[in-house]
Every structure is written in structure tokens, then in C-alpha cells.
Amino acid sequence: MPERRPKILVVEDDAALREALTDTLELAGQTVVSAPEGETALAVLGRETVDMVLSDVQMPGMDGHELLRRVKAVRPGIPFILMTAYGQIERAVEAMKDGAADYLPKPFEPDRLLGVVARHLPVAGGKETGALVAEDTRMRAVLDLADRVAVTDATVLLTGESGVGKEVVARYLHDHSARRNGPFVAVNCAAIPENLVESTLFGHEKGAFTGAAAAYTGKFEQAQGGTLLLDEVSEIPLNVQAKLLRVLQEKIVERLGARAGTPLDVRVLAASNRNLEAWVRDGHFREDLYYRLNVFPLDIPPLRERRADILPLAQLFLKSGASLVGRAGFSLSAAAGAELTGYDWPGNIRELSNVMQRAMILAGGNRIEPDNLLLPRRPSRPVAMPDPAVEDEAKPAQIKDMEKTMILDTLRRLNGSRKRTAEELGISERTLRYKLQKYREEGELDGDCGL
């Protein structure tokens, strides 16, 4: 009997947008059911098995916040994602205290929607959600180590530059473990507001703090019987690190406001693009927690050091991205292939995926040529970004100017999106905020970058 695929309930009163959301998710291989407003959504939940709710905030009658409270009263563990206008982000953050898993500020691109959904949607038992390409000898060595540790319950620390595929390796570990039929839960610790980190990871009871109108099942409990990936674990605040260490050691999680703990049966994986040993020395990360996570280290090499993987990954993206552009059957010319393998990929696999999607849109036919790639003609090594707390006075002025120009140009090109800017530059959002604040204080930040 085929395994049941996870199902997403889309709640949106705008019929055209509801259809567009449904089409985007279905083209990405998801199973979708929709509802035009809250009451219908509750009726769907009453008669069907649903694994995620994606709901608009502004709807006639019952709005998204009320629907969230009603859903959490009957299905406290279901991931609930709110779609909200930029002016309502503060309310969306408050909704996370009520149990929302995430929020999507409108307008958003299809890949942003699919990324958020993939982060919170339970994985169908045993099915891989990402392809792990390992044609290069360096990546084959990583895969060999991954095969050895996957069958154990050891904690694995995945390190490597932003965009190298740490979450794909984490899913590979889960899919090849004895926990493959359990949930795979990934949480980006850098994306959680600092005052919500503890509640998001460990959960809370109703009334545990001001605004906690419903109980919330934290990420640890959501991953019971399966695997929890703590992505960007270095960004967890120090005060929460102490509780995380205790949870990992005792295998018991205690929700905020709870009188007793819940025993855990969860394998923990952690990932970071930082040098955690240096982060420990600088006092930003607990040494005891570092050693508790670093039981089995796996370092993922950057794409420029595994060039034999570039073309297989490009072919994979041509195939998987065909549904997004509405055409299939794409292939690479020899010249385009040479351009791809000769580029250094500072944004790693994430950048390669974006380039291939762009090339498919620009291509006149099904053949990708060098002109369709629009690769930069400048040296592509990533600009070294210092840690936020470190003032690098010794850096030459011209390099500082180049760094500032790259940051602001990228920010303008991405319409002021700090998150996308940080991802493309391969730095943390915290570093980006520090840089922009510094430019403001020095009077160097002009007003045309969307801030």
C-alpha cells in the first residue's frame, strides 16, 4: 500500500490567490486541499487528515489569528503558517506565541513559500526530500561518513559555508536511519525572534506568559520518534543554550509553564556556517554545549572545492525547476557547462539553483547557453565578513568600501530584503544588521536601499 503523503490546507478568501497558492504547491509535489474562509477550514479539519495549515490573516468573519486559536485547541501539534501584510508583522510575531509555526510577509516569491513549507511539513516516512549529489571525490568521502553514522543515534554537527547543502545531508542522515518513518523537523534558529527561541524549541502551556492564549508543542516534541535539525545553532542566545544542554543531557523537555517534563525520543542534528570553536573562544557559545553537539562532526565542502558535482547539480535543478517555469526538457550547451564549472560559486548550491532557474526563464528554447546564465564577470570569492562584535580597523579602506558597495548593491537589488541579502552574501542576518547600523552611525547609509 502506498504511503500517505502529507496534506496542506490552504485558507485564503481571494479565489485567484488561493488557486495560485494551490497550483504552486501541487507543482512542487504537495497534496493540497483549500478553503475560502475559517469556518470551512475547520469543517475540512474535522473530516480530513491535514498535516499543515497555510492561512491568510485578513479574511471576512473569522480572521487568521482566530482560526489559529481554534485550530490549536483541537490540533495543538499541527504546523500553522500565517500569510500577512508587512504592516502586520508585529501581530504575526505575537501569533507565534499563540502557536504559529511561521509567517510569510506578502508579497512573497514561490521559492520562499516552498522553502517555509518544506521546513515545517512532516516528511513522509522514508522518502527523501532532497537529492544528495556526490560525484566529486570530496563529497563521496562525506557521504561515506554519513552512511556510517546514519545508522546510529549519535548527535552530528554539520558545518560548512552557507548554501552548501547542510540540511540536505541532515535529511539524508534521517532517511537512512532507523528513525526514517518518524518526523524530520528542521528549525532555523537564526530566524526565530530572540524572545521566542525558548518557547519555539521547548513549547509552552496556555497562560505561561502574556499572550500565550493556547498551548504550543515545541520543536523537540514535534520531532518525537524522529530527527530534529537545529540549523544555525550558533545563533541560539546564551541563556537558552543552558536549557538546551540540559534537554540534550537528560532527554526530558519541560514546556514553559509546565509542572512536569516530557521524556524525549529524538535524535538531534545541529548545523552551523560559523567556526564554532572560535565562537566558543569569543564567549558566544557554551563550550560544554559545543562538545555535546560535536559528537560526530561532518564538514560539507564548498561547491568550488567539489567541482565534479556542479554539472550533476545543474542538471538536477533543470529537471526539478521545470514545473516553476512551465517548460521541461532543458539541457546545457558545452559552453554553458564550461561557464558553470569555471565559476567559484560564493553562494554555493543555493546560488547554483537560482542561476539555473533564471537561465530557464531567459532561454529562448530548451537549450541553456552562457548568455542565459548571467554569471558575474568579476572574481567570485566571498567577501570576508568579520563577526559583529569585532572591529577590524586594520582592513584597508578600499576593501571596506568594496564590502559596503557589495552589501548595499545587493540590498537594493533584493528590494531591501535583509534575509535574502544575508543569504546571498553568505553572512548571518545579525552581521548584516551590525554592518547597516555602523553605516548609519558613520553617516554613510543613503536612503535608497529600502531601509
pLDDT tens per residue, range 412-430: 767 778 887 777 666 777 7
Strands 52-56 and 296-299: unpaired
Specify the pTM: 0.59
Residue 244 has pLDDT above 70, yes or no: yes
Higher pLDDT, residue 436 or 41? 41
pLDDT in tens, 153-202: 999 999 999 999 999 999 999 988 999 888 999 999 988 888 889 989 99
pLDDT score at 382? 45
Cell numbers that stand for 17 in this block: 490567490
pLDDT, tens only, 58-69: 898 899 989 998
Helix (H) or strand (E) holding 150: helix 137-150
Contacts 24+ apart (CB under 8 A), 100-103: 100/68
Q: What is the CATH code for 304-373?
A: 1.10.8.60
Give the percent of the chain with pLDDT over 70: 83
Predicted pLDDT at 311: 92
- Concatenate the DSSP letters of all residues of 357-411 into one string: HHHHHH-SSSEE-HHHH---SS--PPPP---TT---TTS-HHHHHHHHHHHHHHH
Which CATH superfamily hosts domain 137-299?
P-loop containing nucleotide triphosphate hydrolases (3.40.50.300)
Q: What's the rounded mean pLDDT across residues 119-125?
A: 58
- What confidence tier does 226 reach under pLDDT thresholds 50, 70, 90? very high
C-alpha to C-alpha distance for 334 and 340, rounded to whole angstroms: 10
Instruction: Please report, for the chain, the start and end positions of each structural domain, with discontinuous segments joined by +.
Output: 7-120, 137-299, 304-373, 385-451
Domain pair 7-120 / 304-373, same fold: no
CB 406 within 8 A of CB 414: no
Task: Give the span between the Cα atoms of 320 and 311, in whole angstroms.
Answer: 14
- Residue that the C-alpha cell 565534479 belongs to: 308
Q: What Rg do the C-alpha atoms of the chain give, in angstroms?
A: 22
**Mean pLDDT across the stretch 326-336?**
87
| Residue 196: DSSP 8-state | G
Q: How far apart are CA 335 and CA 337, in angstroms?
A: 5
Q: Which CATH class is domain 7-120?
A: alpha beta
Q: Which helix (H) or strand (E) holds 185?
A: strand 184-188
* Phi-psi category of residue 406: left, alpha or beta, with phi > 0 → left and psi -120 to 50 → alpha: alpha
User: Which pLDDT score is estimated for 71?
Assistant: 87
Rounded alpha-carbon distances, angstroms, from residue 266 to 107, 163, 250:
36, 26, 12
pLDDT surpassing 50 at residue 380: no
Nearest-10 Cα torsion for 414, 415, 421, 425: 50
Confidence of residue 399 (pLDDT cuts 50, 70, 90): very low
Residue with C-alpha cell 509542572? Answer: 259
Using DSSP's 3-state secondary structure scheme, residue 414 falls into coil
CATH 1.10.10 fits 385-451, yes or no: yes
Greater pLDDT, 277 or 444: 277
Decide if pLDDT at 86 tops 70. no
